[in-house]
């Protein structure tokens, strides 16, 4: 066994070969190492990788073949065509979720168009868009429910279609259209779904059930839609999966439970879990998300970091006289000019702007955080046929 | 994991399973009583008539009846022959097919239709395990149903044995004469254990119907539609098999139906059934159809898109 861990030349020498014989072997070994390293760097499909392979899933999976993605650092690969980048990603962590040109066609209809997306561990990412924009399709592709027409997605390095079981082991999913086994009680459902993940019954179930105010002993058929959603939420939160995928999770929840859900999501983020969720409700996305992507007709048209959005302001100023041109400040963008009134967005330090305003004959001034609504509105207008200014990078 | 899926599926089908098993057992039990009446009372009486009344009965449209009870080789004077009809009776075949189609039809499409497949496959469950679980459910439920057939026969035979020739109880004021011609006790002997091997054939039929229905289920979207197609397909096969025995033009199509290979009477009435290649061929074809159905279901289900619940 000891010879196994020796460098090849020594191992060969120990085996009784002369050093002159060992050198070509060493050269071949180094060459082989180089080829393997180059292949690993280049390809996503690794034949017989040296670490123990993940459990087989049996779905389109070839024997002894594991579909792995090369690790991707935050910011790398983000910013494909078709969407505007507000900022560069800055975290230096390996991405938990990554899609590359992910595309899905239903017949002649393109439901999702070349989606490039990454989500880092501990990040809450919101997918926004009107009905039919491709949010649910994107989530269903990640879960391996749909086979991509083109492109691919990886969760924690596992291909979402070819290695779907390994990918799903790292995901807990709350469907948009929620359907539960009506012939079970809440507890039976949680036990059944937990069993499929090899989870043991623990105090977590009761604790979470109490915090979500669920009576698990009641048959699911007798629960209201809101209560059913809470049971489903419980089964999402329980496994502590690295990635939570939630399709419009606050549907049918009352305001108290909505707050509780958002609290749970923040708690999940604090535990290092990533959350990807779609929603129509901008306010809740603003409250909880780190980043937001806006989908429009299947394309990711805008990617927004919420921390930066919070720094941006929408300023409406009314002037007594003629308005000068706006100062040349970085981060200043004019939106509208109406006679003596200017509306503009500004992401930068306030003092230079306030100094400029002080030199003007300002009669009225309103400064408010920009908010997601303003961003979303741009694309909402686009859908009505008005091309937005600078909507696409 | 497969065990959990199997337990869940069994839990879903337990009520219909119990109902179908009781119906099958009850029918077979009742059929023993019918056997007693036919072999012990009706046939000895008819045999005393100067003309061959039974021959007349099975002429013309009666041929359909003859076909349904098992063809020329069935002698109604023999109790075991009559008893064997209980295994090919249209009601039994209907019950078996209803079970196979209903269960397999709802196994995958039912979950998709209800929207619960999404919940299930959101867990780290390979799709192949879902199909494997259905196979396990078949391997558990089919023997239960077959055994219930046998239990019904055993119980019925125990209740009516020994069968003795006697006068029919007539609803008319005229008392029918007791049979004069001696009937041998061998002819009226019931051997319910001889029905045991026929269960293999019944199980193979169930597996075949279940297999192709599961294939339809694996590629379907709506449970009702899948059930409709499976019922139509099965009914068509049944009709082709029956009509093919009456009409030579349709005859060549019979081997393309699963019912052509359902020959339990061959196994009940022949002591040397295991030495007959035709019996094994029938079993092989039925098991082959079922296996092919499961294989196709696996192939289709592992590659298809999962539609969103409506």
Summarised one tens digit per residue, pLDDT across range A102-144 is 999 998 999 999 999 999 998 999 998 888 888 989 999 999 9
Helix (H) / strand (E) containing B218: helix B198-219
ipTM above 0.95, yes or no: no
- Predicted local distance difference test score (pLDDT) of residue A77: 35
CA distance A116 to A123: 16
Q: Which of A61, A104, A164, A171 to mutate to test the interface with B (most CBs of B within 10 A)?
A: A164
Q: Is residue A48 part of a domain?
A: no
Interface check A109 vs B, CB under 8 A? no
In a shared domain, residues A19 and A114: no
Q: According to the model, what pLDDT value does residue B128 have?
A: 94
Q: What pLDDT, in 10s, does the model give residues A221-241?
A: 998 888 888 898 888 888 889
Cβ count within 10 A of residue A203: 7
Position A380 scores a pLDDT of 67
Q: Are residues A37 and A105 in the same domain?
A: no
User: How confident is the model over A282-303, as pLDDT tens digits?
Assistant: 888 888 888 999 998 899 998 8
What share of chain A has pLDDT > 70, as a percent? 73
Could you give the 3-state DSSP secondary structure of residue A61? coil
For residue B309, which residues of chain A lie inside 8 Å, CB to CB? 175, 177, 179
Question: Residues 190..229 of A with a Cβ closer than 8 Å to B: which?
Answer: 192-193, 195-198
**Number of domains making up chain A:** 3
- The pLDDT, as a whole number, for residue B139 is 95
Q: What is the mean pLDDT of residues A23-28?
A: 43
| Listed residue (A261, A307, A279) closest to A127, CA to CA | A279
**Cβ contact (<8 Å) for B115 and A179?**
yes
State residue A58's pLDDT score. Answer: 41
Last residue of a domain, one of A277, A308, A339: A308
Instruction: State both tokens at B249.
Output: 């033009």
Judged by average pLDDT, the poorest of A27-36, A133-142, A206-215, A316-325 is A27-36
pLDDT confidence of A378, banded at 50, 70, 90?
A: confident
Task: Extract the tokens encoding B290.
Answer: 């079922």
Q: What is the pLDDT of residue A162?
A: 92
Check which CATH number belongs to the domain holding A175 and give it: 3.40.50.300
pLDDT at A152 over 60: yes
Q: In this predicted structure, what is the pLDDT of residue A51? A: 39
Where helices occur in A97-215 by DSSP H, the ranges are: 135-142, 164-169, 186-196, 203-211
pLDDT of residue A361: 84
Q: Please give the structure tokens belonging to residue B257.
A: 């139906």
Q: What is the pTM of this model?
A: 0.77
Is residue B197 within 8 Å of B259, Cβ to Cβ?
no
Residue A67: φ, ψ to 5°:
-90, 110
pLDDT 10s digits, A298-349: 999 988 888 887 778 888 888 887 776 778 888 888 777 887 888 888 888 8
Contacts of A147 in chain B (CB under 8 A): 303, 305
Structural contact between residues A309 and A375, judged by C-beta atoms closer than 8 angstroms: yes
For A32, counting Cβ atoms within 10 Å of its Cβ (0-12 exposed, 13-18 middle, 19+ buried), the class is: exposed
Residues A100 and A128 in one domain: yes
For residues A264 and A247, state if they share a domain. Answer: yes
Based on the domain organization, do A295 and A252 belong to the same domain?
Answer: yes
Give contacts of B115 with chain A, Cβ < 8 Å: 175, 177-179
Residues of A in contact with B133 (CB under 8 A): none
* Chain A positions in Cβ-Cβ contact with residue B16 (cut-off 8 Å): none
Instruction: Identify from B118, B133, B307, B310 which residue to disrupt to test chain A contact, counting A C-beta atoms within 10 A and taking the largest count.
Output: B118
In a domain, A355, yes or no: yes
Q: How far apart are CA B157 and CA B262, in angstroms?
A: 23
Position B283 scores a pLDDT of 94
- Asked if residues A180 and A189 have their Cβ atoms less than 8 Å apart, the reply is yes
Longest CA–CA span in chain A (Å) reads 97
pLDDT digits (tens, 9 = 90+) for B59-104: 777 777 777 777 777 777 788 888 999 999 999 999 999 999 999 9
Predicted local distance difference test score (pLDDT) of residue B135: 95
**Residues A211 and A348 both lie in one domain:** no
Q: Could you say which residues from 120 to 159 on chain B have a Cβ atom under 8 Å away from some Cβ of chain A?
A: 120-129
Q: Identify from B126, B132, B135 which residue to disrupt to test chain A contact, counting A C-beta atoms within 10 A and taking the largest count.
A: B126
Q: Is the peptide bond before B162 cis (omega within 30 degrees of 0)?
A: yes
- What is d(CA A267, CA A270) in angstroms, rounded to the nearest whole number? 5
Tell whether A362 lies on the interface with B, counting CB pairs under 8 A: no
Residue B105 is assigned to a structural domain of this protein: yes
How many CB pairs below 8 Å do chains A and B form together?
A: 82
Each residue of A358-381: b (16+ CB within 10 Å) or e?
eebeeeeeeeeebbbebbbebbbe
For chain B, list residues with pLDDT below 70: 48-51, 165-183
Task: Please tell me the predicted confidence (pLDDT) of residue A350.
Answer: 85
Same domain, A347 and A215: no
Specify burial of residue A293 (Cβ count, 10 A radius: 0-12, 13-18, 19+).
buried
Q: What is the DSSP string of B237-266?
A: HHHHHHHHHH-TTTGGGGGGSGGGG--HHH
* Structural tokens at position B71: 């063809």
B258 within 8 A of B268, measured Cβ to Cβ: no
List the domain range (segments joined by +) for residue B153. 2-303
Per-residue pLDDT averaged across A13-33, rounded?
42
How many structural domains is chain B composed of? Answer: 1
Whether A36 and A144 map to the same domain: the answer is no
In a domain, B308, yes or no: no
Beta-sheet strands, E only, within A29-96 = 45-47, 65-67, 84-85
Q: What is the pLDDT averaged over residues A25-43? A: 45
Tokens of B202: 């019944």
Has residue A76 got a pLDDT over 90? Answer: no
User: Is residue A149, in this structure, part of any structural domain at all?
Assistant: yes
How many residues does the structure list for chain A? 393
- Determine the structural domain holding residue A345 and report its residue range: 313-369
Are both A298 and A346 inside the same structural domain?
no
Tell me, yes or no, whether A180 and A245 share the same domain: yes
Domain match, A278 and A344 both: no
Is the domain of A275 the same as that of A134?
Answer: yes
pLDDT above 60 for A21: no
Q: Does residue A71 sit within a domain?
A: no
Q: Give residue A248's region: left, alpha or beta (phi > 0; psi -120 to 50).
A: left
pLDDT at A175 over 50: yes
* Ranges A25-34, A170-179, B66-75, most confident: A170-179
Mean pLDDT of chain A: 75
The whole-angstrom separation of Cα A94 and Cα A88 is 15
| Structural domain includes residue B309 | no
Confidence of residue A9 (pLDDT cuts 50, 70, 90): very low
List residues bridging with A276 in a β-sheet. Answer: A125, A245
Using the Cβ of B302 and the Cβ atoms of chain A, whether some distance falls under 8 Å is answered with yes
pLDDT confidence band for A42 (50 / 70 / 90): very low
- The predicted pLDDT at position B173 comes to 63
């Amino acid at each position: 066994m000891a010879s196994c861990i020796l460098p090849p030349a020594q191992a060969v020498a120990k085996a009784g070969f002369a050093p002159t014989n060992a050198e070509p072997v060493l050269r071949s070994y180094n060459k082989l190492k180089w080829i393997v390293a180059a292949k690993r760097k280049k390809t996503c499909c690794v034949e017989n990788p040296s670490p123990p392979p993940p459990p087989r899933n049996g779905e389109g999976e070839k024997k002894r073949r594991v579909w792995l993605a090369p690790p991707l650092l935050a910011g790398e690969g983000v910013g494909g065509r078709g969407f505007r980048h507000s900022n560069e990603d800055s975290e230096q962590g390996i991405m938990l979720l990554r899609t590359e040109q992910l595309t899905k066609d239903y017949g002649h209809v393109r439901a999702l168009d070349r989606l490039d997306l990454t989500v880092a561990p501990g990040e809450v990412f919101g997918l926004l868009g009107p009905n039919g924009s491709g949010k649910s399709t994107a989530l269903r592709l990640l879960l391996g429910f749909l086979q991509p027409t083109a492109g691919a997605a990886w969760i924690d390095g596992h291909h979402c279609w070819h290695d779907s079981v390994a990918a799903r082991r790292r995901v807990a999913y709350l469907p948009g259209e929620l359907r539960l086994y009506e012939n079970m009680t809440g507890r039976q459902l949680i036990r059944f779904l937990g069993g499929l993940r090899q989870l043991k019954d623990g105090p977590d179930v009761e604790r979470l059930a109490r915090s979500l105010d669920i009576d698990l002993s009641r048959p699911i058929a007798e629960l209201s839609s809101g209560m059913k959603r809470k049971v489903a939420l419980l089964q999402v939160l329980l496994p502590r999966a690295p990635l939570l995928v939630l399709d419009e999770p606050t549907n049918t929840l009352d305001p108290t439970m909505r707050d509780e859900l958002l609290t749970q999501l923040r708690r999940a983020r604090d535990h290092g879990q990533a959350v990807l969720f779609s929603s129509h409700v901008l306010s809740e996305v603003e409250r909880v998300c780190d980043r937001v992507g806006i989908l429009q007709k299947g394309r990711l048209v805008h990617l927004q970091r919420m921390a930066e959005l919070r720094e941006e302001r929408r300023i409406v100023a009314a002037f007594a006289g003629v308005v000068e041109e706006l100062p040349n400040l970085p981060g200043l963008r004019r939106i509208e000019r109406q006679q003596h009134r200017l509306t503009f967005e500004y992401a930068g330090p306030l003092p230079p702007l306030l100094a400029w305003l002080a030199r003007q004959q300002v009669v009225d001034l309103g400064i408010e955080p920009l908010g997601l609504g303003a961003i979303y509105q741009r694309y909402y207008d686009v859908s009505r046929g008005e091309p937005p200014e600078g909507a696409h990078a | 994991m497969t065990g959990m899926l199997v337990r869940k599926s069994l839990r879903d089908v337990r009520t219909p399973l119990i109902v179908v098993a009781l119906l099958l057992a009850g029918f077979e039990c009742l059929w023993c009583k019918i056997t007693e009446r036919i072999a012990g009372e009706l046939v000895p009486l008819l045999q005393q008539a100067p003309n061959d009344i039974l021959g007349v009965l099975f002429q013309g449209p009666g041929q359909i009846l003859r076909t349904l009870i098992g063809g020329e080789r069935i002698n109604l004077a023999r109790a075991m022959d009559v008893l064997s009809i209980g295994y090919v009776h249209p009601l039994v075949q209907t019950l078996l097919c209803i079970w196979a189609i209903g269960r397999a039809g709802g196994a995958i499409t039912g979950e998709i239709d209800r929207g619960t497949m999404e919940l299930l496959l959101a867990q780290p469950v390979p799709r192949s395990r879902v199909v494997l679980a259905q196979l396990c459910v078949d391997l558990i439920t089919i023997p239960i149903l077959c055994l219930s057939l046998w239990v019904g026969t055993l119980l019925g035979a125990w209740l009516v044995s020994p069968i003795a020739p006697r006068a029919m109880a007539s609803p008319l004021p005229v008392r029918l004469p007791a049979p004069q011609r001696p009937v041998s006790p061998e002819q009226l002997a019931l051997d319910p254990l001889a029905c045991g091997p026929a269960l293999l054939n019944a199980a193979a039929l169930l597996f075949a119907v279940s297999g192709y229905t599961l294939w339809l289920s694996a590629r379907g979207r709506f449970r009702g539609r899948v059930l409709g197609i499976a019922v139509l397909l099965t009914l068509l096969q049944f009709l082709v098999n029956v009509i093919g025995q009456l009409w030579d033009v349709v005859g060549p199509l019979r081997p393309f139906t699963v019912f052509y290979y359902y020959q339990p009477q061959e196994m009940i009435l022949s002591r040397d059934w295991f030495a007959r290649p035709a019996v094994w061929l029938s079993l092989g074809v039925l098991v082959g159809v079922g296996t092919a159905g499961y294989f196709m279901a696996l192939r289709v289900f592992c590659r298809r898109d999962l539609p969103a619940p409506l």
